[in-house]
């Protein structure tokens, strides 16, 4: 809802930079109550409109665009297509093909606000945006200081879910994450929110993920063209690009991993079987990443699917700079072009991504399980693997197939993993109690 102040600002059309500076000056002066000129400044602010900022916009996936050699014109075309398919952060729009509920999206989107009946809106920006970012790219203002980084939804990959490895999470999976948070990370529980608000936020997460994945597919389709731009038609854009993304969400509930019932076997025996599998370098081979001591100190120099492309770009930049330094015979025009390209890529990486991190295999002695601590959660992690990270699956790659381990063996591994935090070695080193006076 526009205020009267906003209408004034539209009339005056002051350049936004000047307006912001004026606002800053005015607010600074007003806080120094001794200044006599504040009513004058406040008047100026009133006509200039402090509240009038550019509406937030979705941010293009410029790192991927640069990686795939998308031209500025093509970038604009992709932004226009996405605008037509998904609207803006203040005014979301979706086609019926997405299966998304526009009413819910409207309540999640836009600035934080409430109506006369107390219905709260702008829920994404209120609860999620500061970490996950307006675009759902995991680049919110607080992301840099978090470890692990907040999820970037744009790849359409989710780690903790009940479905097969490549499939999307179900609504219930996202609800579990929202209600319980993710232990061991900065993702808190939102269980105190009313159920309607939880559902609204889930819908918006799906929306941002669909938008981001559609963008990735548009970038690849654009990069694959010989020349020019993508054909603007319902078949090319909706049927071939948007629909498969939307269908991967609507069919998620058909892809749930339903474990065979846990066999009734003595726990100690099951744990022993699980231990053997954990150390078996010919089969499950868990020790390679989780380490001989299960502290997560095995393979520690690998990357997840979000960081790996960034790491490769970093390597390419370093290599190109070395070539430019060492190749003294490079023609000047060639050198200038390559220097400029490298500088652009480095600048994009700096402004549109977080410092690259390696992926840490889980320390299994802590008893902290990000995807849920129930036996069924651990079964699904081991059976399907974890999407987006190195963790492989030991179950079949297609339903009905034969996996590396049988369901009984996976249950034994679950029992063993659940026993690890309870082993004596998992306890912190105990100190002999010392009499208080002896410490001084």
Partner 1 sequence: MCKLSKFVASFFAVLLMATSAHAAEWGTLTGRIVVDGKPPKESPIDTAGKDPQACTKEKLVDEGLLVDAKGGLANAVIMLKTKNPAVNPELMTNATGNVDLDNKNCRFEPHVQVVLLTQTLLLKNSDPVSHNSKVDPLNTPGINPILPVNGEPVQFKFNSEEGIPVKVGCNIHTWMGAYLVVRKDPYAAVTDRTGAFTLKDLPAGTELEFLFWAENPGYLKNATFKGGKADARGRFKYKIKPGTNDLGDIKVSGSIFKK
Interface residue list for partner 1 (CB under 8 A): 69, 165-167, 216-217, 220, 223-224, 226, 248, 281-285, 288-289, 299, 301-302, 305, 315-316, 319-320, 322-323, 327, 330, 385, 387, 390-394, 397-398, 401-404
Asked if 164 contacts 369 with a C-beta cutoff of 8 angstroms, the reply is no
Residue 426, judged by CB atoms within 10 A of its CB (0-12, 13-18, 19+), counts as middle
Tokens coding 178: 């929202």
Shortest separation between residue 270's beta carbon and partner 1, angstroms: 20
Asked if 124 contacts 204 with a C-beta cutoff of 8 angstroms, the reply is yes
3-state DSSP call for residue 219?
helix
Asked if 237 contacts 230 with a C-beta cutoff of 8 angstroms, the reply is yes
Shortest separation between residue 390's beta carbon and partner 1, angstroms: 3
Smaller CB separation from partner 1, 178 or 216? 216
Neighbours of 62 (CB within 10 A): 17
Shortest separation between residue 323's beta carbon and partner 1, angstroms: 5
Smaller CB separation from partner 1, 332 or 398? 398
Q: How far apart are CA 96 and CA 250, in angstroms?
A: 12
Question: CA angle at residue 164 from 161 to 165, to 5 degrees?
Answer: 80
Shortest separation between residue 86's beta carbon and partner 1, angstroms: 20
Shortest separation between residue 389's beta carbon and partner 1, angstroms: 9
Shortest separation between residue 398's beta carbon and partner 1, angstroms: 8
Shortest separation between residue 70's beta carbon and partner 1, angstroms: 11
Residue 115, judged by CB atoms within 10 A of its CB (0-12, 13-18, 19+), counts as exposed
Q: How far apart are CA 286 and CA 276, in angstroms?
A: 10
Measured between alpha carbons, how far is residue 236 from residues 65, 73, 221, 230, 422 in Å?
A: 20, 19, 10, 8, 56
Shortest separation between residue 200's beta carbon and partner 1, angstroms: 28
Smaller CB separation from partner 1, 99 or 309? 309
Asked if 82 contacts 211 with a C-beta cutoff of 8 angstroms, the reply is yes
Tokens coding 289: 């990443």
CA atoms within 13 A on the CB side of 207: 32
Smaller CB separation from partner 1, 334 or 427? 334
Smaller CB separation from partner 1, 67 or 127? 67
């Amino acid at each position: 809802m526009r205020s009267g102040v906003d209408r004034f600002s539209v009339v005056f059309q002051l350049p936004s930079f000047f307006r912001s500076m004026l606002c800053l000056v005015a607010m600074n002066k007003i806080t120094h109550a001794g200044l006599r000129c504040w009513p004058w400044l406040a008047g100026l602010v009133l006509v200039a409109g402090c509240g009038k900022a550019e509406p937030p916009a979705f941010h293009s996936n410029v790192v991927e665009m640069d990686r795939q050699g998308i031209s500025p014109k093509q970038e604009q075309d992709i932004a226009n297509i996405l605008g037509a398919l998904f609207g803006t952060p203040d005014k979301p729009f979706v086609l019926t093909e997405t299966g998304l509920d526009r009413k819910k999206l409207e309540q999640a989107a836009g600035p934080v606000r409430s109506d006369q009946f107390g219905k709260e809106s702008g829920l994404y920006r209120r609860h999620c945006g500061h970490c996950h970012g307006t675009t759902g790219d995991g680049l919110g203002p607080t992301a840099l200081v978090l470890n692990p980084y907040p999820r970037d939804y744009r790849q359409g990959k989710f780690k903790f879910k009940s479905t097969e490895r490549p499939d999307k999470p179900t609504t219930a999976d996202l609800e579990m994450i929202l209600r319980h948070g993710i232990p061991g990370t900065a993702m808190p529980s939102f269980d105190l929110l009313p159920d309607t608000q939880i559902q609204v936020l889930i819908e918006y997460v799906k929306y941002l993920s669909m938008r981001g994945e559609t963008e990735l597919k548009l970038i690849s389709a654009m990069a694959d063209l010989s020349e020019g731009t993508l054909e603007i038609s319902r078949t090319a854009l909706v049927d071939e690009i948007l629909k498969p993304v939307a269908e991967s969400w609507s069919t998620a509930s058909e892809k749930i991993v339903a474990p065979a019932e846990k066999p009734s076997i003595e726990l100690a025996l099951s744990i022993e079987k699980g231990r053997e599998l954990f150390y078996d370098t010919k089969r499950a081979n868990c020790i390679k990443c989780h380490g001989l001591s299960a502290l997560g100190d095995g393979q520690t120099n690998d990357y997840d699917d979000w960081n790996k492309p960034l790491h490769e770009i970093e390597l390419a930049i370093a290599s190109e700079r070395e070539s430019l330094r060492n190749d003294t015979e490079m023609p000047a025009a060639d050198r200038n072009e390559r220097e400029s390209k490298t500088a652009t890529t480095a600048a994009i990486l700096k402004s549109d991504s977080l410092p690259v991190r390696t992926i840490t295999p889980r320390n299994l002695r802590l008893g902290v399980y990000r995807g849920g601590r129930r036996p069924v959660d651990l079964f699904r992690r081991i059976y399907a693997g974890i999407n987006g990270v190195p963790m492989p699956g030991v179950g079949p790659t297609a339903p009905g197939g034969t996996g590396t381990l049988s369901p009984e063996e996976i249950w034994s591994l679950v029992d063993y993993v659940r026993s690890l935090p309870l082993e004596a070695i998992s306890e912190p080193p105990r100190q002999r109690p010392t009499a208080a006076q002896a410490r001084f």
